[in-house]
Amino acid sequence: MSGTFAEGEKVLFIDSKGRRYLVTLNIEGEFHSHSGFVPHTSVIGIQPGQVVETTKGMRYTVLRPTLEDFVIEMPRGAQVIYPKDLATMCMIGDIHPGVRVYETGIGSGALSMAMLRWGAHIRGCELREDFLNRAVNNVRSFLGESALEKYDVQLGDAYSDVPEGEYDRVMLDLPEPWRVVPLAESFIVAGGLLVAYTPSITQAVQVREALGKGWADQRTLEVLHRTWHIEGMAVRPDHRMVAHTAFLTVGRFIGS
């Protein structure tokens, strides 16, 4: 998207210390902080990258949020999958335009949005109605109403329910993904990929045990994200890093 900010659009306020605030513009709205407020009308009609000031002189750069920004700041119920894992899951899962994905454990819709951005058609299964509604609202909020044409999320129990049709990919983010593996063998196409997101290594081990002789090219990995402090010639790793968040396990179905 290009051009000036419009009412109803999302905007990211970033202060001099890098703190970020996600706001939806409303012609009657105001962005408040400890250093005064900015009327939304001061943002509507200006270009991204410009600086606005609060009533107390605090300066904020206003930008259009990226998907990464939105995932970190969006309304959530379940624990969100971090962007570093979202990108890797889409890559090892070979998500591409037109691919048919069965996703379980929808949560707040972070993985859904990443895959929709990559062109996937998603059939989702979510046990909790509040999570389902939040995910759909987040998808609509960031990607627009048209994204819902490729996003079919229904209430159900992934441990027992089998979706209709065939799927090229199975993406699992739920407490016991190994219980879904035997069911997945009935609806994933030959050569299809299954990716499981598990916080603990014992969960990953159980997924690997469930991926029996009908699965090939199995891997389990984790993604570590370390930023660097660069100030002139003073260069060092930042003191904090996003280290372990989850183990990602992938396997390719070759038929039982």
Whether 172 contacts 195, CB under 8 Å:
yes
pLDDT at position 78, please?
A: 66
* Intra-chain end-to-end CA distance of the chain, in Å: 46
Residue 89, number of CB atoms within 10 A of its CB: 24
What amino acid occupies position 151? Y
pLDDT per position as a tens digit, 133-192: 999 999 999 999 999 999 999 999 999 999 999 999 999 999 999 999 999 999 999 999
Residue 169 CA to residue 37 CA, distance in Å, equals 46
Residue 191 phi, psi (nearest 5): 90, -5
Q: What is the dihedral of CA 87, 240, 62, 233, to 10 degrees?
A: -110
DSSP 16: T
Residue 206 CA to residue 224 CA, distance in Å, equals 22
pLDDT at position 208, please?
A: 97
User: What six digits make up the tokens of 198?
Assistant: 């598990």
pLDDT at position 254, please?
A: 95
3-state secondary structure 149-214: HHEEEEECCCCCCCCCCCEEEEEECCCCHHHCHHHHCCCEEEEEEEEEEECCHHHHHHHHHHCCCC
Residue identified by tokens 């739920």 is 174
Residue 137 phi, psi (nearest 5): -65, -40
State the pTM of this model: 0.88
CA 53 to chain centre: 31
Please give the domain boundaries of the chain with CATH numbers for all domains.
10-65 (3.10.330.20), 69-253 (3.40.50.150)
User: What six digits make up the tokens of 207?
Assistant: 């997924």
| H-helix segments, the chain | 67-73, 83-92, 110-117, 129-143, 181-184, 201-210
pLDDT at position 1, please?
A: 63
pLDDT at position 241, please?
A: 80
SS3 at position 109 = coil
SS3 at position 153 = strand
Whether the CA torsion 176, 182, 187, 191 is positive or negative: it is: positive
Low-confidence ranges of the chain (pLDDT < 70): 1-2, 77-78, 256
pLDDT per position as a tens digit, 76-86: 766 778 899 99
Residue 216 phi, psi (nearest 5): -130, 170
